Structure 1
Amino acid sequence: MDLPVSIVTKRLPHASEDVKVYYPVVTQLPNLNVQSTINYAIITTLNKILVERSFYDKDLVELLAYFELKNNQRGILSLNLIVYSFTGGAHGMTTIKSLTFDTKTGKQYELKDLFKKGSDYEKKLSDIINQRIKDWNIQLLEPFTEIRSDQDFYIADTSLVIYFQLYEITAYVWGFPYFPIPIKDLADIINPDGPLDRMMAFT
């Protein structure tokens, strides 16, 4: 069984005490090229979010960036990068971006990589989400039709979690709409060479 990878938390220096940026660094992988590939993807994605959340703007009042590990087993690392910033106004804004890697090869998975080619995974996931929206009586900004082909996701043990950014489908008060979907419910369409198949052993 693949052991969890070692993660070290580092902080990005900033002159203001109200700006705190914590980010993960993968260490001690046997393949340094894979380790570098994963860490480069993490820092590149984080920087894009920091730009979006006004890290480099003079009007920035407060910013907090941190991460959450969602899966670190069976050679699959899935994590969330979370950045909250406040530049004035009624409230701050938060962005969450998830990254999922094969820790042996450094491959970063997109949503489409999780499923068989031609499986129409967007429709299956969208149907499940639509039902959850009805069951949970989630108030939408406009009728939900279908997820994006590159919809935000992460893997958490035996579930695939699809989620939406603030204001993407709901008002701010609803926060981030998360939709955990048991992997076993997707067994007929998952890619046998993808990360979900590896996690099936836990279901």
Structure 2
Amino acid sequence: MNNTQANNSCLFNTLYIQYVEDIGQNKYFYYDLKYPVFYNVKNGYFQVNEDILKNLNETINSSVYTFKEGILEEEQQINAANPDGSKTKINYSVYSNYDITFNKNHVISFTLHLTAMDNDNLQYNELYSYNIDLLTGNQLLLKDIFRPGVDYLKLVSDFINFKISQNPSYYYPNIVVDIPEAQSFYLTDQGIVIYFGLDEVSPATNGIQKFLMEFTNFESYINPRFYCNAKNMNYNRKNIRPQHNRMYY
């Protein structure tokens, strides 16, 4: 299919994304937490409402540190139950990582991956996604990614069930997916990634299951705001003065 439906005026968001890493440990607990903090760029072509960025940054921080504190509490309870050392103490470790997957047209989409281990055993494996309209601060739902009138729940459900049917032994027997309105997803330049938590559609040992709906295969259904590619990316030249060593985001 051609790209006639693609947005003809895709712009990068002028945001500064600060990389933060917090590392610490005690006798039986280790953590390495990586997460983003978002700021406006002073001379950017648009400014996100500071309350929107503040709420977003607080939400990310809360997700990361609530997870970390929960695992720390578990470690303390488990090891405190063995005060005489009759059993080997258990070492816990917590990690967070993130990916900025889409950052254009006043929309940002990113994932936060949280994992925890006891000794060498993976105990928790969680993926959070954030799809934010930077003009309103609202969390985008799956329906927002499609054109008005599209039966997106059936479209996505049919796609996922077709992909499962191509490799049925990998998933639970006779499983049929019925996508809800609040389905988890995130955006990339390639398309929409629909994902499922551990043990939802496949055994937990198979990990988090993801399905990519490529824009090129579904472009007539997609809201053009979210369909950007290398051929239609621009940056806003309005009110930009010549300046050396300037960076655009």
- What is the TM-score normalised by the length of structure 1? 0.80
Partner of 2:189: 157
Relative to structure 1, the CA distance from residue 185 to residue 124 in structure 2 (aligned partners, 3 Å threshold; closer, same or farther) is: same
How do 1:70-81 residues align onto structure 2 when only pairs under 5 Å count? 70-81=101-112
CA distance in 2, matches of 1:115, 1:96: 23
CA distance in 1, matches of 2:149, 2:12: 33
Question: Which among 172, 196, 205 is matched to residue 141 of structure 1?
Answer: 172
One-letter amino acid of the counterpart of residue 151, structure 1: Q
CA distance in 1, matches of 2:191, 2:200: 22
SS at match of 1:132: helix
Asked whether 1:199 is paired with 2:209, we answer no
Partner of 1:190: 222
Partner of 2:81: none
Relative to structure 1, the CA distance from residue 149 to residue 52 in structure 2 (aligned partners, 3 Å threshold; closer, same or farther) is: farther
Q: Give yes or no for contact 1:184–1:200 (8 Å, CA) kept in 2.
A: no
Runs of 4+ with >6 A deviation: none
Question: Which among 56, 63, 73 is matched to residue 57 of structure 1?
Answer: 73
List alignment gaps of at least 5 residues for structure 1.
Answer: none
Question: Which among 49, 58, 71 is matched to residue 43 of structure 1?
Answer: 58
Partner of 1:173: 205
Shift of 1:183: 1.6
Shift of 1:95: 0.5
**Cα RMSD, aligned residues only:** 3.1
CA distance in 1, matches of 2:183, 2:98: 19
Q: Give yes or no for contact 2:194–2:211 (8 Å, CA) kept in 1.
A: yes
Bigger drift between 109-118 and 152-161 goes to 109-118
CA distance in 2, matches of 1:121, 1:128: 10
Question: Which among 23, 26, 30 is matched to residue 18 of structure 1?
Answer: 30
Q: Give yes or no for contact 1:80–1:96 (8 Å, CA) kept in 2.
A: yes
CA distance in 1, matches of 2:109, 2:62: 18
CA distance in 2, matches of 1:62, 1:148: 34
Question: Which among 11, 17, 20 is matched to residue 2 of structure 1?
Answer: 11
CA distance in 2, matches of 1:9, 1:171: 33
Shift of 1:120: 2.2
CA distance in 2, matches of 1:59, 1:171: 26
Partner of 1:114: 145
CA distance in 2, matches of 1:179, 1:94: 18
One-letter amino acid of the counterpart of residue 59, structure 1: E
Q: Which has the higher contact order (CA 8 A, sep 6+)?
A: 2
One-letter amino acid of the counterpart of residue 156, structure 1: T
Relative to structure 1, the CA distance from residue 19 to residue 89 in structure 2 (aligned partners, 3 Å threshold; closer, same or farther) is: closer
Bigger drift between 66-75 and 8-17 goes to 8-17
CA distance in 1, matches of 2:189, 2:169: 25
The CA deviation string for residues 62-111 of structure 1, in whole angstroms up to 9 with x for no partner, is 10012111122343321100100135795321100111223444333121
Shift of 1:58: 4.1
Identity, % of aligned positions: 22
How do 1:68-107 residues align onto structure 2 when only pairs under 5 Å count? 68-87=99-118, 90-107=121-138
Q: Give yes or no for contact 2:48–2:134 (8 Å, CA) kept in 1.
A: no
- What is the TM-score normalised by the length of structure 2? 0.67
